[in-house]
Amino acid sequence: MVTGSRNVGFKETTLHTQAIGRLRRVSPVDFRPGEDPFSEPTTAAYPWLREPAFVPIRTFAGCIKSSPGPPRTAAALCEKNRVQPDLIPDMGPMAIGPIQLRDKVLRNIAFQGEPGASWLEALPSLLGRLEAEWSIKAGRPFPNATEAFVSEAATADGQPVAIKIPIPGLVKAERERSLLQTASGRGYVRVLRHDANSGAMLLERLGPQLANMGLPIEEQIRVICRTLQQAWMPMPPGARYPAGAEKAVEMSSYISTAWPRLGRPCSEKVIEIALRFAKARRDAFDPADSVLAHGDPHAWNTLLDPKTTQYKFVDPDGLFIERAHDLSISMREWSAELLAGDPVASGQQRCALLSRLTGVQQSAIWQWGFIERLVNGLRYKEVGPEANAEEFLAVVEAWAEVETV
């Protein structure tokens, strides 16, 4: 999910490191006219094409190469299904018949290797089966999907709904389904149907994203806080979600390994503070003070419910964690606005607002926000765009001068 300066979020940073690290963008000029980029002579000349990674090619959409076995090209899959691939100039959606998948979905498919290629090949027939079983008709895809095929749909009697088919191999997909069904529409999009074999969900149709409503940032934060207070819930008996201590350790581990690997793109002081904050949040984990939380409640994941004029969340990560972590996502967002003035003063004001609206301790919000912002900066440094990395790291460098609120 990245639009403009939208964050990748940590959920997109740990699962796909190896695949994205091998991702290559290839211009048509890299090959002679009519040359097959995956022929033996070509792969001999360009050895990296043999790597088991997805390679977007402007000339024919893309490839998922499994190992062992021959390349699995999107073009071949499209030909088999008698439809044509289509790429927009920014390497955006790839169409398979009525199906469109964006770059980020395709990169995530790449990480899955052969299962990803098989999922891509079976997607048109799977969608057809779900349309028949659920008596729906799929429509336009939603543009910001990252880990699933997501589209508008309509029931046989014309009711607007949405369909979501996750790519294979994502543990988060099952957590999302479980959390949404537990919430039963309170603070979250409602699940209408679920296909256990594919993980597909039929969802109620919501309206526009909060980020597109034209509201000032402070009002967006107020909306997010109100929606969180509806959405937070106790851990259901017998359920298992990643705990706050696990989240802190996961992020600390990423910071420790990514910073030297990326050439130390920020100061050692920033890293030292982030690791100290991560240890503090790990040690502070208390099941009695934790909730079943969204994990990434930003304005792009907050949608208007046209039936109630209230907002609901989509795409939860599902964490059993202190409330401060969900609130810290608003500290991670809107980098340009922080840099337009004094990022320390603006950050402190935002942190105070989040605390005032929810009663959550400012220091915990600040510490999680510092960690989230650094992790996103490092991830943008790793996968781009570089300009986004610079914004995140510039803010966190400024914040390092005060350490905490």
Query: Does pLDDT of 99 surpass 50?
Result: yes
Helix (H, G, I), strand (E, B) or coil at 140: strand
* pLDDT score, position 273: 97
> Cβ atoms within 10 A of the Cβ of 29, count?
7
Mean of the pLDDT values across residues 362-374? 98
Query: Does pLDDT of 259 surpass 50?
Result: yes
Closest CA to 338 of 398, 251, 266: 398
Quickly state the pLDDT bin for 74 (edges 50, 70, 90). very low
Q: Rg for the chain (alpha carbons), in Å?
A: 22
Q: Is pLDDT larger for residue 117 or for residue 329?
A: 329
Quickly state the pLDDT bin for 403 (edges 50, 70, 90). low
Task: Give CA 357 to chain center in angstroms.
Answer: 26
Query: Does pLDDT of 280 surpass 80?
Result: yes
* pLDDT score, position 37: 33
- Whether the bond into 68 is cis, omega within 30 of 0: yes
Mean of the pLDDT values across residues 245-252? 98
* pLDDT score, position 26: 30
What is the token pair recorded at 79? Answer: 């030909």
Quickly state the pLDDT bin for 77 (edges 50, 70, 90). very low
For domain 10-204, give the CATH number: 3.30.200.20
For domain 210-400, give the CATH number: 3.90.1200.10
| Report for 102-106, 114-118, 123-127, 168-172: range of highest mean pLDDT | 123-127
Please, what sign has the CA dihedral across residues 11, 175, 303, 195? positive
181-190 confidence digits (pLDDT tens): 999 999 999 9
- pTM given for the model: 0.76
Helix (H, G, I), strand (E, B) or coil at 355: helix
Q: Are 149 and 101 in contact (CB under 8 A)?
A: yes
Q: Are 65 and 116 in contact (CB under 8 A)?
A: no
Kindly compute the dihedral angle of the four CA atoms of residues 257, 263, 268, 273, in this order, to the nearest 10 degrees: -40
Mean of the pLDDT values across residues 154-159? 95
Quickly state the pLDDT bin for 287 (edges 50, 70, 90). very high
**To which H or E segment does residue 194 belong?**
strand 191-194
Q: Is pLDDT larger for residue 197 or for residue 47?
A: 197
Query: Does pLDDT of 397 surpass 90?
Result: yes
Mean of the pLDDT values across residues 288-292? 97
Query: Does pLDDT of 65 surpass 60?
Result: no
Quickly state the pLDDT bin for 57 (edges 50, 70, 90). very low
| Percent of the chain clearing pLDDT 70 (strictly above) | 75
Q: Are 202 and 190 in contact (CB under 8 A)?
A: no
What is the token pair recorded at 21? Answer: 């690290």
What's the angle, vertex CA 338, arms to CA 329 and CA 392, rounded to 5? 60
Segments of the chain assigned to CATH 3.90.1200.10? 210-400
Q: Are 148 and 187 in contact (CB under 8 A)?
A: no
* pLDDT score, position 68: 37
Query: Does pLDDT of 265 surpass 80?
Result: yes
Rounded to the nearest integer, the mean pLDDT of the chain is 79
| Percent of the chain clearing pLDDT 90 (strictly above) | 63
* pLDDT score, position 117: 86
* pLDDT score, position 381: 92
Q: Is pLDDT larger for residue 285 or for residue 82?
A: 285
CB-facing half-sphere around the CA of 156: CA atoms within 13 A: 6
Q: Is pLDDT larger for residue 194 or for residue 62?
A: 194
- Backbone phi, psi, residue 361, to 5°: -60, 130
Mean of the pLDDT values across residues 238-248? 96
Of 53-67, 91-105, 190-204, 293-307, the least confident: 53-67
Tell me how far apart the alpha carbons of residues 175 and 192 are, in angstroms, rounded to a whole number.
17
Tell me how far apart the alpha carbons of residues 143 and 150 are, in angstroms, rounded to a whole number.
8
